[in-house]
Chain A
Amino acid sequence: MQLLWQILINGVLLGGLYALMALGLVLVWGVLNIVNLAHGALIMLGAYACYYLFTGFGLDPFGALPVAMALLFCLGYLIQRCVLNLVIRAPMFNTLLITFGLEVVITFLAQMIFSADFRTVNPSYAGANFLWLGATVPLVRLLAFGVALGLTFALWLFLDHTALGRAIRATAQNLTAARLYGVNPRQLYALTFGIGAALAGAAGTLYGVVSQINPYIGSGLTGKSFAIAIIGGLDKSIYVLVGGLFLGIVEALTALYIGPTYTDVISFGILVVVLIVRPTGLLGRTA
């Protein structure tokens, strides 16, 4: 029972980070109808931004987070403005392939610049933890969990309660109508992809704090983000949180009761089953 409680705590803390990873993917998917296969590569860049800000400038990882987000926002804005806007009305399959091309370019550039070595971000409080109701809670993971929840909430506030957020949601629903109300789609698409990339940057910063990083982590993280997006559904950003927590807990339980090598079978198995049984996600509207 004690062990189960600890596993649940671990799963929930991991799930918060998972949700943040998928949040940018879901935003871009929902608004631009682009399934961004380069999303994991952007998370990887966020992790490296954190690493270099920490080792180079001595910036605390949580202080580096806004900087990494700003950097990734600029990169995302440029990618959408210069490349993806040129193909956005092409068949969905072409946009899927082009983001794969971007993923390849980013990964190999990262390998050339950062080298393939494993890196870790080790702030002084990295090993700190405390006991809560008999379970050990690592401080870093709790902080990461808190930031992930905060950013998810902030995105929801932004999309629901600001003019720009409403413009983004309006464009997702009906591009022509949004245009008639004065929305400039080139600009708006670039801003949306930029925000998606910034969220990936934030997720990467937190990932760098809790785990080892190298240039090849991207594609695996894209896969996980997919699973979370599909499990939660694409309707509301809040649902991503459910998908993330669900996957985090299921993975932790699988590792305990079935074996750590089976976590991928279970998470991708759930992905496939959910797609077949409820393609709109566990919480999504039935079509």
Chain B
Amino acid sequence: MKLASTLALSVVVVGVLATVPWWGSAVLVQFGINALILATLAQSWNIIGGYTGYPSFGNSVFYGLGGYGVAVGMVQFQLPFAAGLALGVFLAVLFAFLLGLPVLRLRGHYFAIATLGLAEVMTAIVSNLEIAGRNIGLILPLLKGDTLFFELSLALLVITTMTVAWISRSRFGFGLIAIRENEEAAAVMGVNTTLYKILGFALCSIFAAIAGGIHAYWITYLDPTSAFDITLNVKMIIMAVFGGPGTIFGPVLGAFVLSAISEVLATKVTSLAGIFFGLVIVAAIVFMPRGLADLVRRFRQQGWRYFQANIQAHRV
């Protein structure tokens, strides 16, 4: 019953969202594309960060590789968009397999910092590559069609979320969760931890790369600093954590809420929006460290004591 109502509600929400380009203003549609892409990134991070418990700061590399796959394919080889996307996804999955193997052996801080380092290395390498336009970047062919990009981004988010829903109730997903809770125990129970972690990493690389490809074609311009932006990586993490990591709808909810808030603020004062973004992170970690999803569930039972209990649990 609960499953059926959740499904019905999701179908209605997606259906309403799909009509937005036909009645919404140009500004709303553009905001929508950005929010959908960010939600996809937060959701794909959720697979490795939320379910597997490996806080990757390198997912922006997948996003950047997806963008460069499309840009290099379309500009240097005159390939169609879809072929460029395939190239981007191929590069990202290759990266996930080759570098996931050594990096996923690390844990905690060390994993986070190693992935952060990888992202920096990729930025520097791409800005020295002739074929990628060095640090000046590439200009893609112009395609005017916000409606198309909106529907593409929406479809991508739906597929990503369905994948996460599948993960949360599949044998593969239980393996990932077991790794998050206790990696040694998972190995003892017969989970091939190395294989599972790499597959999880590769799976999230696919969605992040497609998101990067769509975004690059949409804004028709790509340069190394914006393609491999660390801030983008932190944004997807914040959105996933704000919404609720390791849940199906939490990261999407977090991405929509935070995008809307910063959009409203950005139209007023830009630097205030930045300060607010930082304060939201600080307040969210202090008062609701398990995200909106947990807040909604527990607040009904506990009321305001919920926040107090969170602080009590983690203070010194």
Contacts and interface: CB of A to CB of B under 8 A. Distances in A.
5 contacts: A85-B316, A97-B238, A102-B282, A105-B278, A226-B117
A268 B121 contact: yes
B315 A89 contact: yes
Interface of A: 29, 35, 83, 85-98, 100-109, 111-112, 185-186, 189, 219, 223, 226-227, 230, 259, 261-262, 264-265, 268-269, 271-272, 275-276, 279
B271 interface: yes
Contacts of B277: 104
B183 interface: no
Nearest to B280: A101
B282 A186 contact: no
Given A97-B281, A100-B281, A269 B110 contact: no
Interface string B120-132: 1101110110000
The 5 closest A-B pairs by CB, nearest first: A101-B281, A104-B278, A105-B278, A108-B274, A265-B124
Contacts of A98: 281-282, 285-286
A251 B299 CA distance: 53
Interface in B75-131: 102-103, 105-106, 108-110, 112-114, 116-118, 120-121, 123-125, 127-128
Contacts of A83: 282, 286
B112 A88 contact: no
Given A89-B313, A101-B281, A111-B274, 4 more contacts: A89-B314, A105-B278, A108-B271, A230-B113
A90 B55 CA distance: 15
B104 to A, nearest CB: 10
Contact of A111 (B106, B108, B125, B271): B271
A112 B275 CA distance: 10
Contacts of B230: 219
B110 A275 contact: yes
B311 A265 contact: no
Nearest to A33: B109
A276 B285 contact: no
Contacts, number: 136
B113 A226 contact: yes
B128 A104 contact: no
B234 interface: yes
A186 B127 CA distance: 46
Interface centre among B112, B117, B135, B237 (most CB of A within 10 A): B117
Nearest to B282: A101
B289 interface: yes
Contact of A262 (B114, B128, B280, B286): B128
B241 interface: yes
B279 interface: yes
Contact of B315 (A87, A94, A279): A87
A272 B117 contact: yes
Given A87-B289, A94-B285, A230-B113, A185 B120 contact: no
A275 B113 contact: yes
Contacts of B55: 93, 96
B278 A272 contact: no
A96 B234 CA distance: 11
A41 B241 CA distance: 23
Interface of B: 55, 102-103, 105-106, 108-110, 112-114, 116-118, 120-121, 123-125, 127-128, 135, 230, 234, 237-238, 241, 271, 274-275, 277-282, 285-286, 289, 311, 313-316
A183 B282 CA distance: 27
Contact of A92 (B108, B135, B315, B316): B108
B279 A101 contact: yes
Contacts of B274: 104, 107-108, 111
Nearest to B120: A268
A111 B116 CA distance: 25
B275 A90 contact: no
A248 B108 CA distance: 27
Nearest to B285: A98
Given A83-B286, A94-B285, A105-B278, A271 B113 contact: yes
A108 B278 contact: yes
A35 B113 contact: yes
Nearest to A179: B316
Nearest to B313: A89
A275 B116 contact: no
Nearest to B279: A105
B316 A96 contact: no
A107 B278 CA distance: 10
Given A90-B314, A101-B285, A276-B114, A269 B278 contact: no
Given A96-B55, A271-B113, A276-B114, A88 B316 contact: yes
A40 to B, nearest CB: 12
Nearest to B135: A261
A30 to B, nearest CB: 11
Contacts of A100: 234, 238, 281
A92 B109 contact: yes
Given A96-B55, A97-B285, A98-B282, A105 B275 contact: yes
Given A97-B281, A275-B113, A276-B103, A87 B314 contact: yes
A13 B280 CA distance: 40
B128 A279 contact: no
Contacts of A92: 108-109
Contacts of B314: 86-90, 94
